[in-house]
Structures are given as structure tokens and as C-alpha cells.
Amino acid sequence: MSQITLATLALGMLMSNKPAAKMPVEESAIKVPAGFSTKVVASGLGSTRHLTVANNGDIYAKLSKFKDGKGIVHLRDTNKDGVADETNYFGDFVGTGIQIYNGFLYASSNSGVNRFKMNDKLEVVDKEHYENIVSGLIDKGRDNAKPFVFDKQSNMYVTIGSWNDACRVPGTGQGMVPCTVLDSAGGIWKYKADQLGQKFQDGKRYITGLKNAVGITWNTKTNSLFATSHGRGFFHDFYPQYYTPKQSAEIPAECLYEIHEGDDGGWPIIYYDQFQNKKILAPEYGGDGKKTAGEKAIDPKVAFPAHLGPNDVLFYTGNQFPAKYKNGAFVAFHGQNSELKKGYFVAFVPFVNNKPSGKWEIFADNFSGIDLAKPTGPIQHRPCGLAQGPDGSLYVADDLGGTIFKISYKK
């Protein structure tokens, strides 16, 4: 999750480590637009991160922590009442990414990507054995998730996040010159989806300068990669002469990018300030909160408020939802923002002619279960993963309470 000040980070960690309240999940508590409804498919599953839904309605979710020694959960609704009545765990590795592709269930660990063979019934053939696609991706324990996505040419794009918030020299507030972290992290790498046994060096860096792009997807309309990246933090802690605690809590923006090969997101040299609507030179590299920089760095398609932790992005291609949602982007936010005094929600970004159109909006809210302006108890749910079902419903995974929600629309 993105950082703010040291004190606020410590408080956030304390809250996030509290267990979810032991009470039944109230579906009606999730606020969605008129005509939409929310159903709890399953709960208590463990740390469910990203998820994928097969054409037969089966759900596969990746766990970031082991549940009974396993790292993947498979859910099936046999009586079609909207609630999973079969739950099976398998896989001896934890991570974040998971997707069905070309007859295989792909799933990532924190250092690579594996796949399980599936049959014509979309069932995993052998849950005890899998093939390794990529291994040896750097894992230093922080921002180490390896989400991935595929294009139409059997290429696989894998995020490798940076463990160093702003590429600072350890023990100082100064930036590394050059930032050697970018040699193996802080971007997205491209691999072959169907080639076994690839190592880190077999991939090609597709984009550099993204601190931690947990949300990653392929837009079939634009035929391009999109990603949401977590922003850096600790402005006031290291540079109080330039930033107030309030500024440190409200910048930089968390951004949605459209990405093409060879792009540079600008991290750690620059960050995007959503109040100035400019790319600003980072203080570690000579900035003062006002100097602009990054002429060669790409601009975001959307700049969200700071520290919301965008953990997944999905372009809606179904026909169930009203027309305004067609080809627009849903974003799951895993954190909270002091400016909005909100967080833990799913947002929607309208797209027209393959470009963002109009303001983004909160689509599904109140996953936290508490008043974030005056919190009085533990957070209930943190939206993390998004998936579209075969009927056009939207699924949301929560990695705190281990709940999967299904959001549907009926005229």
C-alpha cells in the first residue's frame, strides 16, 4: 500500500492488522447505484487477492497468505443460488495474480508465474502439479506482488514492484543516481505466455518508472496495456522544508496509465501532483514541490487522490450493466485517503471512444464498514481483485475478510 507520513503509516498498519469483526457480512451495507445488488458468494476464504471467473461460473482466487497450507481457492456454485457451496484449496505457493488463458490456469507467486492444465470442463486436471513459466523475479518482501496479464499474441506482462519507496540511498533522504532498482524492478516486464522455464533475464522491460503497478489489464478495444500504480510517500518526513504533513498525506496522485512498449512512468525522478496537474521533480532529485520535470515521462489517463492503493483494474465488456459502463474501467482501491476521508471502494472511470470521458465516480462503497472520518473499529473489507463473470456481473475480492462479492444489475 502507498505510504504517507511515518506516524500515519504506523497507525494504518496497526488498523490493517486487526482481525475483521466476527459478525455476519451484511450485503446491504455495500452501497451501489440504483438497480444494482450485491451478493456475498463466500467469506472467510483467507487473503484473497486477484481472482478470475471461468465461463462455467467457477471462481479461482489467489491468496497472498497460506490457508491450510494452500495458496489458491476454487469456488463452485452447484445449485446456482449465487452462493458457493463447494470450496477447495490447492497450490503450494502464495501471491497475487491469477487468470485463465488458453486452457491453463495461470497463477503467480511473489517471484514468478506458474500454470495448471485445465480440461474442457474448465477444471484443473492435476491440482498437485504445475508448470513454471517464469521464475527468479526479485522479491525483497515489500511491494513484491507479481500480477500479470496477457495480450492477443501470447505475450505475458508481469509487474515487478519496487521495494524502495523513492529509490533513496539507505539511511538518507537522497536519491540513488542512477536508480539501480530500475534494473530489476519498478516496471513491467514482457515474457512469452507459453514458454516454460523462463528466468528474469529472458524477459524484456516493457515499461520502466512505475513504482508498483498492482492493477494491470489488457484493453482489447485499444489493444494496449493499462495499469494503476501506487505512489511514493514520506515527503514531510524527509523534506519538511518543502512539504507540510497535510501535503504529504494528499500527494502524489495514484494514477491510471495507458502503456506502450518503451514508455517511462517517471518514478523515482518525478511524481504526478493532481492539484497542480503537473509532473513534479522529486525532492530526492533536487525538487522542492514546485519544479516540474519529466518531459519524456508519460502522462496519466486518470489521476486519483493519494494513498488509495489501486490494486486492480478491469475494463467492462459485458452486456448486463447499463450502457454507460460498456468499455469503461473499474478500479478496486485497497487503501484510504485523508483528503476524501474515504477509501476501500470500487471506482468507475467512464470511457468514450477508448478515452476517459468525464469524472471518475465511486461505484461500490462502504466495504470498510466504518466511518473513516471518525473510525471507531476495525476495517471490515479491503477491495483488492476484480473479475467479470460470464453473465456480465462484477466480482470483487477482499483480502482482509476473505470475502468475494458479486455485483449484478437488473432493470
DSSP string, 205-271: EEEE--S---EEEEETTTTEEEEEE-----HHHH-TTT--HHHHHH-S-EEEEEE-TTEE--TTTEE
What values do phi and psi take at 408, rounded to 5? -125, 160
Classify 13 as helix, strand or coil: helix
Task: With respect to residue 26, please indicate whether it lies within any of the assigned structural domains.
Answer: yes
Q: How far is CA 292 from CA 232, 237, 389, in A?
A: 17, 21, 43
Greatest pairwise CA separation for the chain in angstroms: 62
The Cα–Cα gap between 2 and 166 comes to 11
* Total domains, the chain: 1
Cis peptide before 178 (omega within 30 of 0): yes
Asked whether the predicted pLDDT for residue 282 surpasses 70, the reply is yes
Q: How many CA atoms lie within 13 A of 46 on its CB side?
A: 25
Give mean pLDDT, residues 103-116: 98
- Residue 202 domain-assigned? yes
Summarised one tens digit per residue, pLDDT across range 125-148 is 999 999 999 999 999 999 999 999
Which bin fits 21, alpha (ψ -120 to 50), beta or left (φ > 0)?
beta
- The verdict on whether omega for the bond into residue 268 sits within 30 degrees of 0, i.e. cis, is yes
Residues in the chain: 411
Give the span between the Cα atoms of 90 and 356, in whole angstroms: 39
Assign residue 163 the CATH number of its domain: 2.120.10.30
Residue 135 contacts by C-beta under 8 Å, 6 or more apart in sequence?
Answer: 111, 112, 197, 198, 199, 200
How many Cβ atoms are within 10 Å of 128's Cβ, its own excluded?
Answer: 9
The answer to whether the CB of 131 falls within 8 A of the CB of 112 is: no
**pLDDT reading at 92 higher than 90:** yes
With respect to residue 18, please indicate whether it lies within any of the assigned structural domains: yes
Name which residue leads in pLDDT, 2 or 152: 152
pLDDT tens column, 44-85 = 999 999 999 999 999 999 999 999 999 999 999 999 999 999
Residues linked to residue 395 through DSSP beta bridges, in sequence order: 387, 406
SS3 285: helix
pLDDT tens digits along 249-261 = 999 999 999 999 9
Q: Is residue 300 part of a domain?
A: yes
Structural domain boundaries enclosing 129: 6-409
Helix, strand or coil for residue 398?
strand
Q: With 50 as the cut, is the pLDDT of residue 16 above it? A: no
Considering the domain boundaries, does residue 1 fall inside one? no
Task: Judge contact between 45 and 27, C-beta under 8 A.
Answer: no
Q: Is 34 inside a domain boundary?
A: yes
On the CB side of 287, CA atoms within 13 Å amount to: 24
Mean predicted lDDT score pLDDT of the chain: 93
Most confident segment among 9-18, 165-174, 186-195:
186-195
Confidence of residue 25 (pLDDT cuts 50, 70, 90): low
Exposure class string for 228-265: b at 16+ Cβ within 10 A, else e: bbbbbbbbbbbbeeebebeebbbbbbbbbbbbeeebbb
Question: Is position 235 within any domain?
Answer: yes
387-402 pLDDT, tens digit each: 999 999 999 999 998 9
The pLDDT score that the predictor gives to residue 338 is: 83
Contacts with 99 (C-beta within 8 Å, 6 or more apart), sequence order: 50, 52, 105, 106, 148, 149, 150
Say which residue, 35 or 2, is predicted with more confidence: 35
